[in-house]
Homo-oligomer: A and B are copies of this chain.
Amino acid sequence: MATMQRLQNTGLELFYAQGYYDTSVDDILKRLDLSKGAFYYHFDSKEDYFIQIIQNLLARKIYSTLIEPIEGHDNPLSLITKCFDDAMETAVHNEMDYGCILSNFLSEFNGKNEVIMHHLNEIVTVWEVNLVTTLQKGKFNGYLDRHVDCEAAATFLMSSYFGVRTLMTSATPSAKKYRFMSQLRQYFKSIEAKHVNS
């Protein structure tokens, strides 16, 4: 694998595990047995390095785990339920779970680095737009109640997911997952279409 790819991969891994400010460039280079020369040949700075990781790896990761799985013409509430369930299940089985990568970075860079925050918020927006679209389509197709505010529902879903991933990092993640999913279904039941027809 190319050096640049390896740098980005272990970069995301370490930044996720230890945080951006607590992970030095030397840490990453030591892990890969590379030198400063190699790093600064491929990247202008640590910040440039991280931004490329965001765009190349993080954005794709969010897309494949949270956006692509809810695309389709089925009931969006079922799709989102399964999507969240799957995403949390991998977190439960992962020895080292540090919460939602995107959410962690959001709180780490908030108020500290505007440039990076801009790139992170772009990913958040993409997720939000896709959620809203999916919900609106579901409403159009008769899966959701006519009175549902799709923007509000999307915000609520994103919030609760970010939050539960933070809570899951402490003790008993599987219990947290189970409890969360049960109340998510409860909420979904309250916004699904009332079956008055046929």
Contacts and interface: CB of A to CB of B under 8 A. Distances in A.
Interface of A: 17-19, 21-22, 96, 98-99, 103-104, 106-108, 110-112, 117, 121, 124, 149, 151-153, 155-156, 158-164, 166-167, 169-171, 176, 178-180, 182-184, 186-187, 189-191
A153 B178 CA distance: 11
A111 B23 CA distance: 13
6 contacts: A110-B169, A124-B167, A152-B179, A156-B180, A158-B163, A162-B162
Contacts of A186: 187, 190-191
A189 B180 CA distance: 17
Given A159-B160, A182-B149, A111 B124 contact: no
A170 B111 CA distance: 10
Given A104-B110, A149-B179, A159-B159, 6 more contacts: A18-B112, A149-B183, A151-B179, A186-B190, A186-B191, A187-B190
